[in-house]
Structure 1
Amino acid sequence: MAPENFKRYTVTSALPYANGPLHIGHLAGAYLPADIYVRHLRLLRKEVVYICGSDEHGAAITIKAKKEGTTPQQIIDRYHTQIKESFEEFGISFDIYHRTSAKIHHELSQEFFTNLYNKGEFIEKYSEQYYDADYDQFLADRYIIGTCPNCGNTNAYGDQCEKCGTSLSPTDLIDPKSTLSGKAPELRPTKHWYLPLDKYQPWLERWLLEGKKNTWKTNVYGQCSSWLKQGLQPRSMTRDLDWGVDVPLEEAKGKKLYVWLDAPIGYISATKQWAIDNGKDWEKYWKIQENDDDNACLIHFIGKDNIVFHCITFPSILHAHGGYVLPENVPANEFLNLEGDKLSTSRNHAVWLHEYLQEFPGKQDELRYVLTSILPETSDSEFTWKDYQARVNNELVAILGNFVNRVMILMHKYFEGKVSGPHPEITDETLNDGIGKGYDELGASIESFKFRQALNAVMDVARLGNKYLTGKEPWKLIKTDAEQTREILQNCLHIIAHLGTLAQPLLPSTSKKIFGMLNLGGGMHYDQPVAFSNGHQLNAAALLFEKVEDEVIARQLEKLRQPASAVGDGSPAGGEETPAAIQPVSPAKPDVNYDQFATMDIRIGTILEAEKVTKTKKLLKLKIDTGIDQRTVVSGIAEHFEPESIIGKQVSVLVNLEPREIKGIVSQGMILMAEDADGKLSFVAPAAPVTNGSTVR
């Protein structure tokens, strides 16, 4: 999707749910990629509006208010303010950060419902809905968990199994339980208004499956294709709740709009408010124009858990309403894990943005850099504090920061920081070619939503500069040829200026520092030539980045080991996120005596080699140093770990398990794994490295 094909852009990020703070998983999913993309468009001088806001409706708000003995309004006011301030301090460049509790949003959401109602689009029907008698309320889909009839996941939600992706209804679940009381809910009759997604399926298949096959990310297209192949069913657009947007029908008094009707309309209501505040015409950013070439390009940045709602439900609503543009792309990211485990708000296993900003003042770009380098663009990825340290120290400090600092210091040392002579432009064609390649790769990568590649393009220009500077050795040449030394260093100044320009969408604070040192103002568009006038005075050199010390990382790792505190769930858009869901625990097995237990010989070993067993999905063939010997163990963990990612890990091995042949391979033992309620496996391993062969008692 080339930017020159559109006159204007409407870019949205998923609305974060206002019942908890933001963590790095949210940033990596919907906000940092969108911010990079929007900043890039602005540098191309494109007309763009970047929209977001707090999602402030849904049952989880009222539940949290009840638990805290406060009101829903106080909950959303608290977290809306915190989230908005965190975004601002981190540097996410929204044109407006709105909220769905605003009057303009309620009115627009009701207008959408009324439009569809008057067109006869809704199916009205009574249904039996689960009800929690202890809490005296009907249960929204996400407040019911049970066993998925498709894959057996015991923690499937009432609308979807997140393990296998199957679309569900609450009554499909086996052994359903309320996440409020933990008890089996009862069925009671209630009337609701349903959007007939099955009616729109033929249109969706033409628009989505045929129209987006070659332009949407494979992970997004694949999930949409799977949903459509299963066959869509009508989905209720109303809920029995006491917090949210009122259904604008007399007969529906007391009912609220379903959050996935209400929340995405928040993008439009926010744009309307922005237009009012800035004297703009909001319809140019959302409505179909008389001339198709004048239509805005709509792009939604989200996490993968919101794909179906942004690619199927919301487009169906826009289509049924009529007159609105449809998303050109929905570049959803997968999930970011943390230190070998899922991010978890209930267990406080997260890096919270507001805490990072407090503990790492002025280090926004360091986090932007690390997150961009590991963005889960097509598959889940992982953040670790050791990797954070390594990337900051070995890349930002050693490559980008080192190049800029060396050049600036040498210019001040040899030439008093003053540019002069007949060299307003780079005199080395190899450098020109490398910088030009950097611009081309940056643009192509960002426009295809490959932000990791875009970051590499910038760093490659920094590497080019380091290689040039090291090869020319101006600190030696100055002794014999001052003029050539000046030419070399001024070539390097041009590289730095281009680095400042290239880094603007990715590392905006760093770019400002670079332009400040170069005394070139606040920034440059891509098409502005970099030229230094004769006599141009540079400002003083300053470090762009500082090394991250071991004790800083140790403190962060210790925080993650601390017990969970009561924090909310700031999950992006779709306000019916579950509060800490009940996690069923298997009952204890029959007692064994000590002598029986003592027969098991469990040792610590290190994985030396790992490879997938051919023609199987679940099996890995491992070579493990047990301290006793090196042996082969076949383990059913291939769906959870990539072979190369576990080499070098220490594991617990049952070494005296009777050998067994599996798929033609003799397995001599078993590694021990912990499995949580979501089916995720973790190694049972020592907290710190120990000698292979150490006994587990």
Structure 2
Amino acid sequence: MQNPKRYLVTAALPYANGLKHIGHLAGAYLPADIYVRFLRAKQKDVVFVCGSDEHGTAIPIQAMKENTTPQAIIDKYHGIIRQNFADLSISFDIYHRTSSPLHHETSREFFTRLNDAGELETRETEQYFDEKANTFLADRYIKGTCPNCGNPNAYGDQCEKCGTSLSPDELINPVSTLSGEAPVKRKTKHWYLPLNRHEDFLRNWIVGEHNDDWRANVVGQCKSWLDGGLQPRAVTRDLDWGIRVPVEGAEGKVLYVWFDAPIGYISATKQWAIDNHRDWEPYWNDKDTQLVHFIGKDNIVFHCIIFPVMLKLYGHILPDNVPSNEFLNLEGDKMSTSRNWKLDMQDYIDDFVNQPNGGPALVDALRYYLTQIAPETKDSEFTWKGFQDAVNSELTDIFGNFVNRAMVLMHKLTSGKVPPLHTEALTEADRNMLAQFDNSREKIEKLLVGYKFREAQYEVIDLARIGNRYLQGKEPWKQVKNVDATGKVLPEAQQSIDNCLHICLQTCANLAIFINPFLPNTARKMLHMLKVVDKMLEWENAGKTKLLSVGYSLRAPELLFRKIEDTEIQAQVEKLKSNSIAAAGETVATGSDTAPPANSTEPVSDPVKEIIQFEDFAKIDLRTGRILEAEKVEKADKLLKLTIDLGFETRTIVSGIAKDFQPQDIIGKQVVVVVNLAPRKMRGIESNGMILMAQDEQGKLHFVQPENTINAGAGVS
């Protein structure tokens, strides 16, 4: 959208069921904050909303773990998460919560309008019911034996041991986690959003309108969902905790959390408008508003498929862009709350920001490194050594060093005042440095508008790098030695000194403007030293060469950053390892289940299996094959019966991929098959082999197949 009247920026609502780690911060909240601060600097009308997601099974499950109530859980973690964001300079205009009366009212009204308009449909299904607890059971409240690996503690939606996605019907000997009793099947009615009716709209909107301006990972995942065919999705569930469904015959039912959570953006905007005596409606109903959702990749389907359908049906505007980041790993492994392999925002605040040598500079140090390694196009990795190198080698030795040298030399060589610029004495190096201001502004602005925050931050540091080279080349500390017989600096030498330091100080002023979206605390410390007001940070000043007045006295320089010591890094690495070992020990000792909540936005990381020898691996015979026929297995939602050409023979293999693939769509697919696996009967069909599949963070399966076409039966090694 060109030149919108206003902007509404959202960041994914974090679950209020526990502490949030820096992977969450890097995924949605920091990039959103950078973008919003840039828009504010451009004097745009922008509202930045977020809030705690406080419904769904994750909350009561956490309450059971902590032996308390769901309300106590959300009150506890809502406050902690909100303060963590504030401590790390995430500048929401409002941080709301979905337990608020306003959100309940907004969600019920949203459901009612869609239901009354006939945009929802009802279905009656059978669901497990706990007669002792007198309640229907969500998938995470059911445990049983995994039919694939025999794990006796598999959940109704997934086995955490082998990683297989399950349904409660597939569990062997299922029991309720509430009572320990075997559940029974009872009929229940639910309301569904028929996404299948809106496939053409979504395809035209995403692929037709946004194929080129949205990130490739977003468009690619959306295409995958659309190509697989959309199905009606339940918007209600049988649960005690949540927003009551506002229709007759829905007793004991609440809105499904995926339905009410994104409506939290709307209710948060309403609350902001009430608090600031503004009108909320233009931000959701005026087509001159640019709506931008910042999310992690595990939320793409909700923000690009489901919520847009809801918005369209209600009459609200659609998102202009949905910048989605990949995942941030930690020291060579995926972050995992269950394994305690993580760096919580609270831990960083306690260990760095709140220490005597911490403060706002250490907030910006984390912001800088997370932006430098932002997983914008692929998964990236946080390492403590990388953090140390980024702070010491770039922030301190390049950016901080340039600002400090310019300020120190100004106090030493020009009496602490901004020296004049002698235009008649400008050299080519001087002119090139002055021209660099506008060149940097153009590059940085283009990258920020395009949501390329890593590259934009690099350009800011590069300007400081160029400034260091310029200062080193001019050597004003040597020019001061060019004196006449009376000891006075020669006029041409003084002009060279003045021009160099004038340009360096104007560079510092521009650096303050450019760094502000990324490192706001650093920008304000620079303003203090330069004795200018916040208004200078407005983007209209970016690239200008006369930001500081000649003859103006500046304050004494202060170091912007401190070095990160080896001992600090070693302590953090040891803490990470010891926490992980302690978590593993606690799991073994208590037999506790360490699975993340069903609605968690954190990717599940399966532990590496025990070491095997090469001889063990060599026993596996992997061959390429091609699917000749595929059909669904009766009374088995997950199973497909496949006929596979292995070159030397044709095999029947039963595979649990029916939820992700339609039979007609996989005919002719190349696959990799374990051909020497012992036969196994499944639903009365003998399966002779196993197909290799990969599972993404959403639980969706993908074929593991050769890059190029290979004859069936070829060995894989």
Amino acid at match of 1:553: I
The equivalences for 1:65-84 within 5 A come to 65-84=63-82
Per-residue CA distance 1:367-404 (angstroms, 9 max, x = gap): 00000001110111100001001111111111001111
Per-residue CA distance 1:128-163 (angstroms, 9 max, x = gap): 22456787643435667999999x999998779999
Per-residue deviation at 1:170?
A: 3.1
TM-score normalised by the chain length of structure 1: 0.77
Q: In structure 1, what is the Cα distance between the partners aligned to 2:210 and 2:244? A: 35
Please tell me whether residue 470 in structure 1 is matched to residue 472 in structure 2: yes
Change (3 A) 1:149 1:402: farther
Q: In structure 2, what is the Cα distance between the partners aligned to 1:326 and 1:543? A: 46
Q: In structure 1, what is the Cα distance between the partners aligned to 2:472 and 2:318? A: 52
Contact 1:197 1:313 in 2 (8 A): yes
Per-residue deviation at 1:438?
A: 1.2
The equivalences for 1:162-173 within 5 A come to 170=167
Change (3 A) 1:448 1:110: same
Q: In structure 2, what is the Cα distance between the partners aligned to 1:578 and 1:99? A: 17
Please tell me whether residue 330 in structure 1 is matched to residue 342 in structure 2: no
Per-residue deviation at 1:72?
A: 1.1
Per-residue CA distance 1:27-58 (angstroms, 9 max, x = gap): 11110010001111111111100000011111
Please tell me whether residue 576 in structure 1 is matched to residue 576 in structure 2: no
Question: Which ranges of structure 1 fall in alignment gaps of 5 or more residues?
Answer: 590-596, 602-614, 617-674, 680-697
Partner of 1:351: 343
Partner of 2:463: 461
* 2:303 corresponds to which of 307, 310, 313: 310
Contact 1:176 1:185 in 2 (8 A): no
TM-score normalised by the chain length of structure 2: 0.75
Amino acid at match of 2:466: L
Q: In structure 1, what is the Cα distance between the partners aligned to 2:330 and 2:140? A: 24
* 1:16 corresponds to which of 6, 14, 17: 14
Partner of 1:440: 442
Per-residue CA distance 1:454-512 (angstroms, 9 max, x = gap): 01110110111001001111111111123321221111001111000000101111111
Partner of 2:395: 396
* 2:571 corresponds to which of 548, 555, 559: 555
Amino acid at match of 2:48: Y
Q: In structure 2, what is the Cα distance between the partners aligned to 1:131 and 1:48? A: 47
Contact 1:426 1:491 in 2 (8 A): no
Partner of 1:369: 368
Partner of 1:692: none
* 1:286 corresponds to which of 284, 287, 290: 284
Q: In structure 2, what is the Cα distance between the partners aligned to 1:126 and 1:108? A: 27
Amino acid at match of 2:498: R
Partner of 2:489: none
Instruction: Report the number of matched residues.
Output: 588
Using CA pairs under 8 Å that are at least 6 residues apart, name the structure with larger relative contact order, 1 or 2. Answer: 1
Partner of 2:561: 545
Per-residue deviation at 1:346?
A: 1.3
* 1:301 corresponds to which of 287, 294, 306: 294
Partner of 2:419: 420
Per-residue deviation at 1:422?
A: 4.4
Q: In structure 1, what is the Cα distance between the partners aligned to 2:425 and 2:85? A: 38
Change (3 A) 1:462 1:200: same
Change (3 A) 1:450 1:165: farther
The equivalences for 1:241-256 within 5 A come to 241-256=239-254
Amino acid at match of 1:232: L
Question: Which ranges of structure 2 fall in alignment gaps of 5 or more residues?
Answer: 354-358, 483-492, 588-592, 617-623, 626-693, 700-717
Q: In structure 1, what is the Cα distance between the partners aligned to 2:3 and 2:475? A: 46
Amino acid at match of 1:360: F
Change (3 A) 1:64 1:477: same
Partner of 2:117: 119
Per-residue deviation at 1:245?
A: 0.6
Per-residue CA distance 1:644-672 (angstroms, 9 max, x = gap): xxxxxxxxxxxxxxxxxxxxxxxxxxxxx
- Identity across the alignment (%): 53
Contact 1:500 1:514 in 2 (8 A): yes
Partner of 2:537: 524
Per-residue deviation at 1:231?
A: 0.3
Q: In structure 1, what is the Cα distance between the partners aligned to 2:295 and 2:404? A: 38
Give the SS at the match of 2:292: strand
Contact 1:424 1:532 in 2 (8 A): no
Give the SS at the match of 1:18: coil
Per-residue deviation at 1:527?
A: 1.0
Contact 1:419 1:534 in 2 (8 A): yes
Per-residue CA distance 1:289-324 (angstroms, 9 max, x = gap): 3xx4xx211110001111101111111111122x20
Q: In structure 1, what is the Cα distance between the partners aligned to 2:119 and 2:601? A: 29
Please tell me whether residue 488 in structure 1 is matched to residue 500 in structure 2: yes
Contact 1:585 1:677 in 2 (8 A): no
Aligned CA RMSD, in angstroms, stands at 4.0
Please tell me whether residue 44 in structure 1 is matched to residue 42 in structure 2: yes
The more displaced of 326-335 and 556-565 is 556-565
Per-residue deviation at 1:521?
A: 2.0
Partner of 2:228: 230
Contact 2:419 2:501 in 1 (8 A): no
Per-residue deviation at 1:327?
A: 0.8
Contact 1:10 1:48 in 2 (8 A): yes
The more displaced of 379-388 and 473-482 is 473-482
